[in-house]
Structure 1
């Protein structure tokens, strides 16, 4: 039996992002639920008691037949129910309420003749929130937006279920100081990253080591030279972590690797077709540029053109990609053409995730999959039916 759920949205600490977080959350829910559950749900924005929320219709909240839940199966709090895990993982989810039949007449909390019943949020994040929020620096991507990118890229993968059991392989080929990597760690993944700026790599190493030590995790963080054919490319950071000895013994530990190199080198450092999801926040060409053969450039298109073939070679045929771009400096048509040349198909609609960051950054997200993705048509159909802000 299907249900209607109201998702209370957490307020964004970022004032500019908050002004568009409603449409962005709706678009995220459309893609994530549609990809994971096989069909799009009807998602609309609403308010509950003055709080921003999403109303999502047509969800199967009970766990699949044969899956044990606690308490009783008819109670929708079983954490094995796929829809509940997905709702809990959405980037701005604060709480869940189920619309139930009520005896009230007229306009109630959930509309005419309905009541709202709280649902428990299944645990989907393994580590404290300050892993994402404590590190502050100019140009840092908003944490909620980062979570949105991770969810979208994972949803496009045929191995999307690995988002919840830690087996999804995620790569951020432009990882900066690790915002995406920290989100992936909180989800229980063992992510990979690359960053050409040595200062950023060293800053991330220092932060992660301090955080793990402060929280008394069992961990190791090591760094060494990153070389190829005898040539030093930069430094490499490797980390292993687990909340405690028991988690470590039970194999619930995680790993992380950061390659301090040009993103174009990744195709030579990682096995081909080894990555399930790629998340990237492309250089905006405003305050910073991107590395190319000629040195630092201010053209995001050039960065994408040089890097995309390598990224495609690492992505499994059933993989997914979510790229944040600045529409002022990278036209969608140009980006789509470059990705197509690399064997990638953009399936999100123009402007589906569009929002203003500041006067010089008009941000959007490109969702792309390999042209030979086994679920290409089903996923592309979500793009033709999606809500656009």
Structure 2
């Protein structure tokens, strides 16, 4: 790569998130590009004509796959457009291929209190996928992704747009049913070929909850071409997913932990309200489902879950946290000071290389 590429940053519908997006997408780009392409790319923030952007250049004497770079830049959570820097004051538009298969409104049309920002969801998915040794599955639909606390499906919808067949789980029956209703309506509105069914989720005679399975494709031609997808939603306790899903079957886990409200896991006769207790109960199960070469992107509220406590809970489950405290820190509102922890199995075959990417976050390119 001898050129420089500019990725213009799209604004967010959320004003607060837009204000924080610069450092977040810079960190995202350094992790994602570093994991996929190696440390041969330098990324910095830049303002062009009053518009915020990322400038990406290869390090001296480094060779980078330009097509893969353009695709990765196009998938970053806030990318609005790509340009090659053709000279002083000159920008040439780039057409990057995209694996996104479905219309944008699959992610944006559903609104409800507490919904995770779509751009932040895309960031989490990109980060978790980049940590996997099977990260290339993000481009051909073969990456296995689990959201063990999926709520009303923001992460699942992002994964569907990427061509994946994701699995979600949530203990809240209302959320599970709300997602089923939304997805059914969306598929009918867009005239997709689809089937949706819900059955009892029973293990050894015990009913754990429900299983909803949706199969979908834009049309018959896509079905015949092998482009049909599935999304599975398990209405059950996240800590019991190991009884339902196969061990070491997941490449990437994306979770937005509860922020100190009712959510997540039954225990001791009630519903756990403590994010730390939820993490302690569930982390071992998540690790058992994750392949040794898999990765986790975990969003947390610093007000209710201390970084060191989260690190210890994950370590007890055989997971190593790669990111430092505050690596993706940003304010959501007065009660939520959000951060992202990236973690991998402690025996991950690329642990040293991934851990070295943390140092890239301290760089200030000239």
What secondary structure sits across from 2:171 in the alignment? coil
Q: 1:2 to 1:292 in 2, by over 3 A?
A: farther
Q: Unaligned stretches of 5+ in structure 1? A: 65-75, 103-107, 110-114
What SS is found at the alignment partner of 1:266?
helix
Question: Does 2:352 match 1:377?
Answer: yes
Query: Is 1:99 aligned to 2:73, yes or no?
Result: no
Paired residues of 2:149 and 2:264 also in contact (CA < 8 A): no
Q: 1:40·1:382 contact (CA, 8 Å) conserved in 2? A: no
Offset at 1:50? 1.4
Shift of 1:57: 1.4
Aligned equivalent of 2:16: 16
Alpha-carbon distance between aligned partners in 2 of 1:303 and 1:147, rounded to the nearest angstrom: 24
Question: Cα 1:191–1:289, aligned 2, differ >3 Å: closer, same or farther?
Answer: closer
Deviations 1:31-62 (A, max 9, x none): 00000002252221111111111111118999
Partner Cα separation in structure 1 for residue 3 and residue 290 of structure 2: 36
Q: 2-side partners of 1:387 and 1:44: how far apart?
A: 11
Q: Deviations over 1:257-313 (max 9, x none)?
A: 00000001111111100000000000010x434323121232100000000000000
Once the two structures are superposed, what CA deviation does each residue of 1:216-254 show, in whole Å capped at 9, x if it has no partner? 111101111111111111111001001110110111110
1:133 CA displacement: 0.3
1:352 aligns with 2:327: yes
* 2:274 equivalent to 1:288: no
Look up the SS of the partner of 1:180 in the other structure.
helix
Shift, 1:63, TM fit: 9.0
Instruction: Give TM-score, length-normalised by structure 2.
Output: 0.95
- Do residues 223 (structure 1) and 198 (structure 2) align? yes
8 Å CA contact 2:58, 2:64 repeated in 1 = no
RMSD in angstroms over aligned alpha carbons?
A: 1.8
- Please give the residue correspondences for 1:63-82 in structure 2 after superposition, counting only pairs within 5 Å: 81-82=67-68
Please say if 1:51 is aligned against 2:43. no
Q: 1:23 to 1:365 in 2, by over 3 A?
A: same
Among 124, 130, 136, the alignment partner of 1:155 is 130
Alignment of 1:125-144 (within 5 A): 125-144=100-119
1:166-245 paired onto structure 2 within 5 Å: 166-245=141-220
Q: Tell me, in whole angstroms, the C-alpha distance in 1 between the residues paired with 2:361 and 2:64.
A: 26
Measure the CA separation in 1 of the matches of 2:363 and 2:280: 27
TM-score for the superposition, normalised by structure 1 = 0.90
Match of 1:248 in 2: 223
- Which residue of the other structure, out of 340, 346, 354, is the alignment partner of 1:365? 340
Q: 1:292·1:302 contact (CA, 8 Å) conserved in 2?
A: no
Q: Which moved more, 1:206-215 or 1:289-298?
A: 289-298
By how many angstroms is 1:99 displaced? 1.5
SS at match of 2:69: helix
Deviation of 1:348 after TM superposition, in Å, equals 1.1
Select which of 230, 234, 252 maps to 1:277.
Answer: 252
CA distance in 2 between partners of 1:230 and 1:378 (Å) = 45
2:289 match: 314
Whether contact under 8 Å (2:16, 2:332) holds in the other structure is: yes
CA distance in structure 2 between the partners assigned to 1:212 and 1:354 by the alignment: 36
> Number of residue pairs matched?
362
**1:243–1:62: structure 2 CA closer, same or farther, 3 Å change rule?**
farther
Cα 1:223–1:270 change in 2 (3 A) is same
State the alpha-carbon separation in 1 of the partners of residues 248 and 235 from structure 2. Answer: 21
Distance 2:263 2:118 in 1: 22
- State the alpha-carbon separation in 2 of the partners of residues 38 and 163 from structure 1: 17
Q: Which has the larger radius of gyration?
A: 1
Q: Which runs of 4+ in 1 moved over 2 A?
A: 59-64, 287-292
Structure 2, unmatched stretches of 5+, are: none
Report if aligned partners of 2:199, 2:210 keep a CA contact under 8 Å in 1: yes
Q: Show CA shifts across 1:181-213 (max 9, x none).
A: 000000000000000000100000010011001
Instruction: Answer whether contact 2:170 2:264 (CA < 8 A) is retained.
Output: no
Q: Once the two structures are superposed, what CA deviation does each residue of 1:62-104 show, in whole Å capped at 9, x if it has no partner?
A: 996xxxxxxxxxxx7xxxx21111111111111011112x3xx
